[in-house]
Amino acid sequence: MAQIFPKSANALAQASIIVAGALAATAGGALYWLQRSPYVTRQHETREQPVPFSHQHHVGGIGVDCRYCHTAVEKSAKAGIPPTKTCMNCHAQIWNDSPTLEPVRQSFRDGKSIAWTKVNDLPDFAYFNHSAHVNKGMGCSTCHGRIDLQPLAWQEHSLQMEWCLECHRNPEKFVRPQDQVFNVAWQAPANQIEVGKELVKKYGLKPRTSCSTCHR
Amino acid sequence: MASTPHLDPASAPIIAPGHTFSSVTDKIASIVLARRTPLHWFLGFTIAFSVAQLVLLTIVRLLFWGIGSWGVTVPIGWGFDIINFVWWIGIGHAGTLISAILLLLKQEWRTSINRFAEAMTLFAVVCAAQYPLFHTGRPWIAAYWLLPYPNTMGLWPNFRSPLIWDVFAVTTYASVSAVFWYVGLIPDFATLRDRAKNKLMAMVYGIGSMGWRGSARHWHNYESAYLLLAGLATPLVVSVHTVVSFDFAVGVLPGWHATIFPPYFVAGAIYAGFAMVLTLAIPLRAWYGLKDFITDRHLDNMAKVMLATGLIVAYGYAMEAFFAWYSASSWEIFMIRNRMFGPYGHMYWALILCNVVAPNTLWVPRLRHSHAWLFFISLVVSVGMWLERYVIIVTSLHRDFLPSSWGMYQGTVWDWSFFIGTIGLFVTLLYLFVRFLPAISMFEMKTILPGARVEEHHS
């Protein structure tokens, strides 16, 4: 009786086992990587803004404190986007004829807010409170990165739940002295874990990881 | 080749006399290799396939409208989805029992029924899987609460929950059953490859046979692999439905929180499984003229297994009532009274009629040997086992500790369409199986022929 398959079919059959395994592993790895990639998270991607506001210039260059504009950050859930009037405190005097700032003056004249593009946009089902964090030794730059080095702001981290939990499960890795919270250039000391554990105790940090902490 | 009538099926041979190696192969392979598909196959397949479309229809409706289209609501959060899941998973157990435990116990009569009983197991698991997969109405989120994988939420399933044990139990069950079934098919694939009438068929069956040549070495490896797999599958007969019963028994609800649940569920599963094997075997042997292979003795044996497991199940029902009384817990006593005489009382008594009263008629040899009666009883048992899950789930949930939160439950038209649809899916898969794969193991049948017996000579 004639053979149905050539002799090479044996090798192919054996190779198919390895290839199938490799394909499955590759597909799994690719999905793992893709889901965390900036393509999905939009991490480190600058967003277009109606006015090209530079944190690098205002924070890094001039040294404006975070709270000068984000006034509510210590008292409320949202840090707050400053009203146009805050811009005009200075820009009524300086750069007051710059064409780049025309949308700011326009907004000031007709009382319509500038429609800034939100950069760090959490999903609506996740609750986040700025005041709870900045009053307990969690610094701005822990989440927002070196804002003083960002010409147009980007999202520094993935904002995925595993990223939130990384800190909620190990706050000692990230906590800093309360007087350093608004220091955007703060660097963790070499003995951060040691200091962190002290601070966790001192500030009474009990970051919760139950579902309803954030999904209320 | 008319089957020889025997006065006492219990002592009849497990294969009709007069068969040779080639007549067995001819008979079984011809069903698969026949060029013309019989008309009754097309008719049955068309009906089953049409009914199976209800699954798609229900799923589309579910995904667009959510589980509001089902009848589940507070306080009855588990309804048809879990009833049908447990029902289907239970049915599958007979296949594993026949293929693994009866093999290890050298019960030779299993050879003619194990192949399609295993197929039935797989198809039942396929049907069962639909319910947990779709019961949230959002199957794409099933991935992270069913399976432990490194997701971006940093979340793992709750390993202390019996529901996650269930996921592992059922996936293990499905994969071991599939491997066992496939390994059992390999020598038969080779036979079909050699007898195939065209190149394409020869190639398809050839790939399935994995280069099987039937050499002594092949057989040696094969026998060890098959025994090892049987050993692996054996604990599954007991473990799967034990874990399914934990879904209930680990909860603190009266009516669920009972230590008798694991053995009682396992017995119920084998009971339901044998009822389904009988439901399938009786028409199969008649339509395809397989009465020589699935003999009256097979039906008799299966009827006895069904009767025995039915009695264990009846004992379970008795113990549920006894425990309620003996516990002296007012909640337990209320639960059993409500189950028997409450608004779902008629379902409880229907269940007792189907699962306890009806199968006891099989004590009478004349009824047990009547194929029509046996077929009828096996259908009744299937209904009874479905009612059992309905009663356990709904009556325990609908009136719990707080009378202000009592409620009633009823399946909606979509609940029923999903259930009936999976029955259609099950029958569709069985039709495809019977047409494309040998429904009876050819090579194993040959081992029980008188010609296969080699006398041992001791010096």
The DSSP-derived string for chain A is ---SS-THHHHHHHHHHHHHHHHHHHHHHHHHHHHHSHHHH-TT-----SS---HIIIIIII---HHHH-TTTTTSSS--PPPHHHHHHHHTTSSTT-GGGHHHHHHHHH-PPP-PPPSS---TT----HHHHHTTT--HHHHH--GGG-SS----S---HHHHHHHHH-GGGT---GGGTT-TT----TTHHHHHHHHHHHHT-----SHHHH--
B190 in A contact zone (CB under 8 Å): no
* B459 domain-assigned: no
Q: How confident is the model at residue B340 (pLDDT cuts 50, 70, 90)?
A: very high
Most confident listed range (A9-13, B18-22, B280-284, B419-423):
B419-423
Q: Produce one character per residue of A189-215: b if its CB has 16 or more CB atoms within 10 Å, e if not.
A: eeebeebbeebbeebebebeeeeeebe
* B1 domain-assigned: no
- Residue of A39, A162, A164 for testing the chain B interface, max B β-carbons within 10 Å: A162
Min Cα–Cα distance to chain B from A161, Å: 4
Name every chain A residue with its beta carbon within 8 A of the beta carbon of B199. Answer: 4
Q: Produce one character per residue of B359-375: b if its CB has 16 or more CB atoms within 10 Å, e if not.
A: bebbeeeeebbebebbb
Torsion angle of alpha carbons A32, A38, A43, A45, nearest 10°? 180
* B2 domain-assigned: no
Three-state DSSP class for residue B19: coil
For the stretch B148-166, pLDDT in tens is 889 898 888 889 999 999 9
**A5, A161, A165: residue with CB nearest B206:** A5
Q: Which candidate, B418, B394, B278, B413, places its Cα nearest to that of B346?
A: B394
Q: How confident is the model at residue B282 (pLDDT cuts 50, 70, 90)?
A: very high
* B455 domain-assigned: no
How far apart CA B298 and CA B280 sit, in angstroms, is 13
Whether residue B82 contacts residue B458, with contact meaning beta carbons closer than 8 Å, is answered with no
- Answer with the residue of higher pLDDT: B222 or B23: B222
* pLDDT above 60 for A52: yes
> B154, A166: Cβ pair inside 8 Å?
yes
Q: How confident is the model at residue B2 (pLDDT cuts 50, 70, 90)?
A: very low
> B206, A4: Cβ pair inside 8 Å?
yes
Count of alpha carbons within 13 angstroms of residue B449, beta-carbon side = 16
**B150, B152, B193: residue with CB nearest A161:** B152
Min Cα–Cα distance to chain A from B299, Å: 40
- Among all chains, which residue has been given the structure tokens 């060890």? B224
Name every chain B residue with its beta carbon within 8 A of the beta carbon of A36. Answer: 152
Q: What average pLDDT does the segment B124-136 reach?
A: 91
* pLDDT above 70 for B7: no
In chain B, which among 200-219 make CB contacts under 8 A with chain A?
A: 202-203, 206, 210-211
Q: Would the ipTM clear 0.85, i.e. be above it?
A: no
Q: Name the residue in chain B with its Cα closest to that of A5.
A: B203
Min Cα–Cα distance to chain A from B20, Å: 24
Min Cα–Cα distance to chain B from A123, Å: 13
Residues contacting residue B405 through CB under 8 Å, at least 6 positions apart: B74, B75
Predicted TM-score (pTM) of this structure: 0.87
Q: Which residues pair with B63 in a beta bridge?
A: none
Boundaries of domain holding B412 = 9-450
State residue B136's pLDDT score.
86
Whether residue B391 contacts residue B89, with contact meaning beta carbons closer than 8 Å, is answered with no
* pLDDT above 60 for B1: no
Min Cα–Cα distance to chain B from A145, Å: 20
Min Cα–Cα distance to chain A from B301, Å: 41
Residue B230: CB atoms within 10 A of its CB come to 18
How far apart CA B78 and CA B61 sit, in angstroms, is 19
Residues contacting residue B49 through CB under 8 Å, at least 6 positions apart: B424, B428
* Cβ-based interface (< 8 Å): residues of A facing B: 1, 4-5, 9-10, 13, 32, 35-36, 158, 160-162, 165-166
Q: Which candidate, B192, B179, B193, places its Cα nearest to that of B226?
A: B179
pLDDT averaged over every residue in chain B: 89
How far apart CA B370 and CA B373 sit, in angstroms, is 5
> A9, B199: Cβ pair inside 8 Å?
no
State residue B50's pLDDT score.
97
**B152, B193, B199: residue with CB nearest A160:** B152
- Running DSSP on this structure, what letter comes out for residue B141? G
Three-state DSSP class for residue B226: helix
- How many domains does one find in chain B? 1
Token pair of B113 as six digits: 């029924």
Q: How confident is the model at residue B400 (pLDDT cuts 50, 70, 90)?
A: confident
> A158, B210: Cβ pair inside 8 Å?
no
Name every chain B residue with its beta carbon within 8 A of the beta carbon of A5. Answer: 203, 206, 211
- Among all chains, which residue has been given the structure tokens 């800190």? A167
Whether residue B114 contacts residue B184, with contact meaning beta carbons closer than 8 Å, is answered with yes
Q: What average pLDDT does the segment B283-308 reach?
A: 89
**B152, B194, B211: residue with CB nearest A36:** B152
> B153, A35: Cβ pair inside 8 Å?
no
Q: Name the residue in chain B with its Cα closest to that of A4.
A: B203
Min Cα–Cα distance to chain B from A139, Å: 23
For the stretch A78-111, pLDDT in tens is 999 999 999 999 999 999 899 999 999 999 999 9
State residue B406's pLDDT score.
93
- Running DSSP on this structure, what letter comes out for residue B413? H
Lowest mean pLDDT among A136-150, B106-120, B174-188: B106-120
Q: Which helix (H) or strand (E) holds B171?
A: helix B162-195
Q: Give percent above pLDDT 90 in chain B.
A: 60
CATH classification at residue B203: 1.20.1630.10
Count of alpha carbons within 13 angstroms of residue B339, beta-carbon side = 28
Q: What average pLDDT does the segment B267-294 reach?
A: 90
* pLDDT above 50 for B4: no
Three-state DSSP class for residue B36: coil
Q: Name the residue in chain A with its Cα closest to that of B208.
A: A13
How far apart CA A177 and CA B95 sit, in angstroms, is 66
Q: Which helix (H) or strand (E) holds B195?
A: helix B162-195
Token pair of A149 as six digits: 């080095």
**B153, B199, B203: residue with CB nearest A161:** B153
Q: Name the residue in chain B with its Cα closest to that of A210.
A: B155
* B456 domain-assigned: no
